[in-house]
Amino acid sequence: MTLETNLNEFDIDKHLKELQQEYLQELPGKIDDIDNLIIGLEDSDDPGSAMRNIAGMIHTIKGTAGSYDMNFASTLCHNFEDYIAALQVAKTQFNTEIDNFLKFTGLLREYIDSCLLGGYQDFDQFNKKLSELVSGYAKTKHRILIVEPAKSMSYRYLKALKKFNVEASFAKDGYDALGRLVKEKFDSMITVAQMEWIKGLQLIASLRIIESDNQNIPVVLITSDSEIKLAGQHGHAYLLKKRPEMLNDLEEIYTGIIEKKDVPQKTETLPIEQTASPAVKRQLQKILYIDDDKDLQPLVKIGLKKLDPPVDLKCYTSPKSALKDIEEINPDLILSDVMMPEMDGPAVLKTLREGETFKTTPFIFLTGHESEEDKQALIELGASGVISKPINPKKLAAAVQDIWAGIV
């Protein structure tokens, strides 16, 4: 079936289900690879390097599973990453944690086996087991969700609270945070104001109206914008201004949170900003897509089928092959992964910008990079936009269209 197939004749849910089944069949082998690395930690001469490989594989599964709408697998991998981050902050020897690591991969394997047998809807038993697993190492700790695109800053917040008995989980943006807040239980949240997709104020307001265990948890909003203020709909929230003493201020706020002291809240009414995407001035007709991840490529293909009008999509797993054929393809837009072994996305962009033919061709990165600094660096290289992984196939076309609308 070609991309030009009429959208009405294309059942996106059916094809996503087929691709999901294919991905499920491949996952046990990926978990075997992770388990082998975990077991090897006991006698490893370089456990740090092995742990980076393990963390990278977990991160990949988290993103790809999320894109395939396998939410529990993504949530489990989120918690696994949190656990590894906590060990890094505490400078714990990784080879002492092998049993706990294998409990995470064992539960992931059990979930996949259930999915392969058709048990997609039976999430309660797995969420309960994950809660028991997490509580096994978190015990009675105060669980904080830190919503901060820059991981380095997340660790600084956590270190500032080291005197408290806390356990941190991390989200890269408001959209990621909201997904965790409806699935997991936290005792408080720290979030920055400026983020992709959902801003800090909107995240807090959304949390207050969603019925969940986290609906009324205290939230700390970090910002350098003097115009931002808290309103009544933000509930139990604290405004923390960025300044040299900020980490001391954060510690003071958490003294109140942990001891359950009330803090007066501001109730100013805030205007709701309305933004609109600019109209497309030039029709998008041809896209060149480069990505070495064969598990993700089918999802991108399906997602881009929702572009209206349909486009001609050329897909490559090899950046060098794509560059070899690009003159013949003559794309209106290039969509590329960032991390690829043969030649990374920034190198592809640099090559194109050094020539004349595609010096100004719009270029969008797909990336799992979590920090705003990383994304801004890609923009400064000459990218027209950045789309974060995990991708949502049903929203991908809209994200591409929004970026396209702003550059033509």
Q: What total number of domains does the chain contain?
A: 3
pLDDT at 122: 60
Domain end (from 241, 272, 303):
272
Q: Encode pLDDT of 180-212 as tens digits.
A: 898 888 999 999 998 877 889 999 999 999 888
* Residues 245 and 172 grouped into a single domain: yes
Q: Residue 279 falls within a domain, yes or no?
A: no
* Residue with more model confidence, 363 or 306: 363
The three state secondary structure string of 324-371 is HHHHHHCCCEEEEECCCCCCCHHHHHHHHHHCCCCCCCCEEEEECCCC
Q: What are phi and psi of 356, to 5 degrees?
A: -100, -35
* Model pTM above 0.95: no
DSSP per position, 268-299: ---PPP---PPPPSS---EEEEE-S-TTTHHH
Domain that holds residue 183: 140-272
* Residues 151 and 249 grouped into a single domain: yes
pLDDT class of 226 with cuts at 50, 70, 90:
confident
For residue 234, the domain's CATH number is: 3.40.50.2300
Cα–Cα distance for residue pair 177/174, rounded to 1 Å: 5
* Residue with more model confidence, 290 or 14: 290
* Residues 293 and 398 grouped into a single domain: yes
Q: Taking 80 as the threshold, does the pLDDT of residue 262 lie above it?
A: no
* Residues 311 and 378 grouped into a single domain: yes
For residue 124, the domain's CATH number is: 1.20.120
* Residues 259 and 328 grouped into a single domain: no
* Residue with more model confidence, 120 or 115: 115
What average pLDDT score do residues 301-317 get?
90
